[in-house]
Amino acid sequence: MSSETETDSRLTGQLLVAMPGMADPRFARSVVYLCVHSAEGAMGLVVNKRLENVSFAEIAGQVGIEPGDIRAEIAVHYGGPVEAGRGFLLHSTDCVDDSSLVIDEHFALTATVEMLKTIAGGGGPERRMLALGYAGWSAGQLDAEIQANGWLTVPADPAIVFDSEDDTKWERAMRAIGIDPSLLSAQTGRA
């Protein structure tokens, strides 16, 4: 592996935390788990914005899972604005299938109907988050947004990613790197 490739993938498995001045309202106060970061671009899932108007039962029904087969529920999150109808499961690595992308020892990404069936039946990974859509960046775009003070990077903590306290994830991610969010300004600039 070249040093360029290592540098390009350095953010894979990190959290992106939107700065208070984030201009894009779709990402205001967002926490994004970065699944892939390379020279070609980046892909992640917003982990702190629940979709209140979509249920797991609705999604399961759309992929052929009968209501009587659902023994477990899972919240549905807004994963990002790209391919908003496509589902992604970010989960612990205790249950993966052949199509799972194992990101590190704590996180894997799967987008199969089979995994949804397993979860609906009460099985599957112990920790999981279902998202519709994803956040995507073209080559160099995310790096430019970070340089422009749009995002902070934070080591990913499974407790932040997977717990159900979505309203506190942004602040907890900031505090994880020693930042008091109340001291941040929404104004950006250079000295």
Check if CATH label 3.40.1740.10 holds for domain 3-166: yes
Alpha-carbon distance values, 73 to 24, 87, 119, 122 (Å): 31, 15, 8, 8
Instruction: Please compute the mean of the pLDDT values over residues 169-181 and round it to a whole number.
Output: 92
- Determine the Cα–Cα distance for residues 134 and 115; give it in Å rounded to an integer: 18
Using pLDDT thresholds of 50, 70 and 90, give the confidence band for residue 185: low
Beta bridge partners of 90: 109, 129
**What are the b/e assignments for 166-183, b being 16+ CB within 10 Å?**
beebbbbbbebeeeeeee
DSSP tally for the chain: helices H, then strands E: 6, 9
More confident residue, 70 or 104: 104
- For 44-103, how does the pLDDT look when each residue is reduced to its tens digit (9 = 90+)? 999 999 999 999 999 988 888 888 888 878 899 999 999 998 999 999 999 999 999 999
| Residue 141 exposure: Cα atoms within 13 Å on the Cβ side | 9
